[in-house]
Amino acid sequence: MEILNTKFLSNVASYGGALCVEEENNLNLFINNSSFLYNTGEYDGGSIYISEKDINKKYNIIKENIFSFSLSNSSFDSNMSRRNGGAIYMNHSYMNKGIIENCTFSNNISKNIGGAYYIPYNIIKKKPKENNNTYINNSAYSYGDNYGSNPAYIKVANEYNHDINSGSYIQLILKLYDEFDQFAHDTNFFFTDIFIEASLYDKNISKEEEGYEIIGNTGRFSKGICQINQLKIYSNTTGSCVLQISAKSNDIMKTSLIHENYILIDINIIPCNRDQLKMNLSNNNGFYCEAPKCNDCNYDNAICVAGYDNPNNDPRKINVYV
């Protein structure tokens, strides 16, 4: 299909306001010296929607060597999608064999992701080559003013202490990022069903650590951020271990999109301080550190000091003031 010297103005469609291409076999599309103005996609692709049918992917019937796509010397201005891809939606396995060059994308709007264009996932295969394109004043309500994909990986966004006592809190702020390495702000709450789970492994990451208890190890993302404030690790031993934070979803498709769906955090569990007592959990799945308790004292500036043989931190026993 060739489209030359053509103007697409104020068209509306569910997918691709001006042009929808969902190929049964192979894609051959050449667009040159054309303009796309004020087109609207009620769902995806304000002007152009390109996708392969699911049957093609299932039976692998698309032939790479006869795929061709070229978009050149064209302009996209003031197009809008009510979901993804203000100007173009692209979801084709061999789109990386095509090219977009000498094109201008201006004032396009996506009400979710990708003001100029959107690729749901796997941009290595699905993103065309680009040459000498211009992006001006495009916007997306959620994220990716010029381009965007679904969330692809998570990162820790705050500083945290690697050396902790057993039973102490770890506070983490996690953020979602798309395949273009942009923060997936998700202001439309489309990915709120993505959540995290934390597990503890030995330092070689060969097996889950035994003799530990972990609480507060789940959380959900809101606007692309997951704050974990109540994560506690109780361990029977001190030393190095690895905390694995995994991103998951009840929607299998969304989980599969997060291709780097876990991060590893080195943790060193250290002994209790000299002024603390080592207390064992009732289920023997770890210990925690607690400040010694003493009976009331009438002396100013007194300090309660841990004694010996007081596993229950009983203030009536030999914890003393000094």
208/83: higher pLDDT: 83
pLDDT, mean of residues 285-298: 76
Same domain, 8 and 144: yes
Tokens coding 40: 């609207």
Same domain, 132 and 207: no
- Give every CB contact of residue 156 below 8 A, 6+ residues apart in sequence: 172, 173, 174, 245, 263, 265
pLDDT attached to residue 207: 62
Tokens 């209790």 belong to residue: 272
Domain assignment present for 276? no
| Interior/surface letters 118-145, b for 16+ CB within 10 angstroms, e for the rest | bbbbbbeebbbeeeeeebeebbbbbbbb
- Phi, psi angles (nearest 5°) of residue 59: -105, 5
Domain boundary (149, 167, 186) is at: 149
Residue 23, pLDDT above cutoff 90: no
Same domain, 19 and 128: yes
> Sorting pLDDT into bands at 50, 70 and 90, what band is 208?
low
Domain assignment present for 228? yes
Task: Domain count for the chain, please give it.
Answer: 3
Same domain, 228 and 167: yes
In contact, 86 and 148? CB cutoff 8 Å = no
Same domain, 60 and 166: no
Same domain, 183 and 75: no
How distant, in Å, are the alpha carbons of 31, 218, 245, 270, 277 from that of 214?
Answer: 57, 10, 12, 16, 20
Residues forming a β-bridge with 147: 117
pLDDT attached to residue 5: 98
Same domain, 178 and 215: yes
Percent of the chain with pLDDT over 90: 57
For residue 124, the SS3 value is helix
* Parent domain of 96: 2-149
Same domain, 68 and 196: no
**What is the number of residues in the chain?**
322
Same domain, 137 and 18: yes
Residue 131, pLDDT above cutoff 70: yes
Q: CA–CA separation, 91 vs 319, rounded Å?
A: 68
Domain assignment present for 109? yes
- Give every CB contact of residue 38 below 8 A, 6+ residues apart in sequence: 9, 10, 77, 78, 79
Same domain, 6 and 141: yes
Residues forming a β-bridge with 243: 200, 265
* Average pLDDT of every residue of the chain: 86
pLDDT, mean of residues 288-311: 67
pLDDT attached to residue 322: 46
Residue 4, pLDDT above cutoff 60: yes
Domain assignment present for 255? yes
Q: pTM of this prediction? A: 0.86
197/132: higher pLDDT: 132
pLDDT attached to residue 213: 85
Same domain, 248 and 301: no
pLDDT attached to residue 65: 52
Q: What digits encode the pLDDT tens for the residues 164-206?
A: 999 999 999 999 999 999 999 999 999 988 999 998 887 766 6
Same domain, 48 and 159: no
> Sorting pLDDT into bands at 50, 70 and 90, what band is 112?
very high
Residues forming a β-bridge with 289: 278
> Sorting pLDDT into bands at 50, 70 and 90, what band is 144?
very high
Give, in degrees to the nearest 5, the angle at Cα 110 between 109 and 113: 140
Domain assignment present for 40? yes
Give the CB-side neighbour count of residue 43, counting CA atoms within 13 A.
5
Domain assignment present for 275? no
- The distance between the two most distant Cα atoms of the chain, rounded to a whole number of Å, is 93
Q: What digits encode the pLDDT tens for the residues 223-268?
A: 999 999 989 999 888 999 899 999 988 876 666 567 667 899 999 9
Q: CA–CA separation, 25 vs 90, rounded Å?
A: 16
Residue 80, pLDDT above cutoff 70: yes
pLDDT, mean of residues 47-56: 80
CATH of the domain at 157: 2.60.40.10
Domain assignment present for 216? yes
Domain assignment present for 54? yes
Identify the CA nearest to 306 among candidates 292, 322, 285.
292
Residue 62, pLDDT above cutoff 70: no
Domain boundary (92, 122, 149) is at: 149
Q: CA–CA separation, 212 vs 237, rounded Å?
A: 9
In contact, 169 and 229? CB cutoff 8 Å = yes
